[in-house]
Amino acid sequence: MMRLRINHKSRRGFAIITALVLLVLIAACLLILADVFMGDMRATRQIRRRVQMQELLTAGTIDVLAHARRWGRQVSPVNWRMPLAKFPVADAAVRVRVEPLAQDRVRVQMNVLLGRMHRRQIITLRRQDRRWNVTAVSPPRREPLPKRL
């Protein structure tokens, strides 16, 4: 009967190579998971900024309507900055400019700056039944960053 001789040195080399291959495979998986995690964090941050921008645009529209309640029949051009005390955002600003178009219509331009995002929205109001009503709201347009808002 013939006996097989097993070389222990070749067995040890195979184990080391197998362990190194497994370590490289685990390291590659960890890198891929870290990249996926960072991508999700960036996407979440961008979504949060877009939601904050939409909240500021909505709050600006509500602020315009609150000002419009105090307007009479004639509206003169006026500018104001919306107070942002209710918003916990440090790098935000909302600027509103009102321009009369006709005796019973005004155009309101709202500029919202949030971090490195700048949006402009146009709201048209018309006076009907002794009050100003919104007749048109343009979708927010991306604008280049202004030097000052």
Q: Which sequence spans correspond to the domains of the chain?
A: 8-142
What is the structure's pLDDT at 49? 87
Both tokens assigned to 94: 């909302």
Q: What pTM was computed for the model?
A: 0.72
Distance CA 122, CA 136 (A): 8
The pLDDT tens digits of the residues spanning 15-52 come to: 899 999 999 999 999 999 999 999 999 999 889 888 88
Burial (CB count within 10 angstroms: exposed 0-12, middle 13-18, buried 19+), residue 105: middle
Beta bridge partners of 141: 120
Question: Given a cut of 60, is residue 57 above it in pLDDT?
Answer: yes
Distance CA 23, CA 136 (A): 62
Burial (CB count within 10 angstroms: exposed 0-12, middle 13-18, buried 19+), residue 64: buried
Beta bridge partners of 81: 95
CA nearest neighbour of 107 among 81, 68, 146:
68
